[in-house]
Structure 1
Amino acid sequence: MKRWTPLAGALLLAACTTPSSPPAQQATKPPAPPVRDLVAQVRAAAEADDALAVSPLRDPQIEDLREEVERLERAGKYRQAAAVLARALEIVPDDPELLQHAAELAIHRQAWTEAVELASRSYHLGPRLGPLCRRNWTALRVIYELHAQDEHAALAREKLAQCTVEPPVRM
């Protein structure tokens, strides 16, 4: 037993020591911004004051549904808001503004493929200029950047720049 005492003591001391150097830190990419920040970026793109604004007419028969969607979204109930918005899209399936709003709700829910499809469809049915166009391409850009699809993100930035047209000079 006395022969094992020095060995046991050495093992205990070895177990108590700290490593001489910390383990190598793995390179990690920075965390993605919160989803609400992505949606805020998309909506902020519509705010340019210097642009010619082209706004499609709103269908009055779904205005109450729009208001309900906005209320649910403010409450953070994105799935319920998307369900109400789907009802509005049954009434007016080709409304580009509703489609873009649905894309933004899909971003909130992290349904990336759905968001890309909806924003693309909104762009193709929409005015292709002005605030809605900027929201379309900003939504696509943030999704592509988030998923490191650099070529698609570059194209989205290029298309985004084409959405802003200076208003005519009035005399």
Structure 2
Amino acid sequence: MPMPSRVAMLAAVRAAGARDNSVLQVHPLRSPGVAALMAQAHTLAAQGDYAGAASLLDRASRFEPHAPDILQTRAEMALAQGDWTLAQQLAQQALRRGPRFGALCARGWQTLAEVARAQRDAALQAQAGQRVAACRKSDPPSES
């Protein structure tokens, strides 16, 4: 089975997060400078300039080194650039620091699934895929 393109891998990660509408999403308060860097990085990524986006995300992470959304977005740029090791490391950091449910969670686990696919590790790919699904099982407990 041929490996999907890096662009297809990135699209799978983004789709994993986009399908998750059922979870309350919490967005961090952000300085205008970091918000501008993030916006520019998203623009460059949309244009296919993953190296330029990665550079801007690296700058943003100097100001907010533990922000899970910055870590995850940077992991996605590493994935798009074929740097499996960095993509895996950053996604794991984002998962440790970020929410256990919702879009960011799903994107992190899907990143790990795509890295496993690239490394032809079917067991790890399946495990990460199950964790993507678990990110969506977040119905709040009843208050009764």
| TM-score normalized by the length of structure 2 | 0.88
Aligned-partner Cα distance in 1 for 2:97–2:62: 16
Alignment: residue pair count = 140
Structure 2 counterparts to residues 1-171 of structure 1, below 5 A: 30-49=1-20, 51-61=22-32, 62-168=34-140
1:123–1:133 CA contact under 8 A, matched in 2:
yes
- Identity level (%): 31
Aligned-partner SS, 1:128: coil
* CA displacement 1:119-169 (0-9 Å, x = unmatched): 010000001111100000011011102211122112212222211135458
Distance 1:49 1:126, change over 3 A: closer
1:130–1:163 CA contact under 8 A, matched in 2:
yes
Distance 1:50 1:88, change over 3 A: closer
Structure possessing the higher radius of gyration over alpha carbons: 1
After the TM superposition, which parts of structure 1 deviate over 6 Å for at least 4 consecutive aligned residues?
none
Write the letter of the residue equivalent to 1:122. Answer: A
Displacement of 1:67: 1.2
Aligned-partner SS, 2:103: helix
1:56–1:127 CA contact under 8 A, matched in 2:
no
Aligned-partner Cα distance in 1 for 2:27–2:138: 19
Distance 1:64 1:47, change over 3 A: same
Aligned-partner SS, 1:59: coil
2:72–2:108 CA contact under 8 A, matched in 1:
yes
1:55–1:132 CA contact under 8 A, matched in 2:
no
* CA displacement 1:22-71 (0-9 Å, x = unmatched): xxxxxxxx321111111011010112255223323241331110111112
Aligned-partner SS, 1:113: helix
Aligned-partner Cα distance in 2 for 1:104–1:49: 18
Aligned-partner SS, 1:89: helix
Distance 1:50 1:70, change over 3 A: closer
Distance 1:116 1:49, change over 3 A: closer
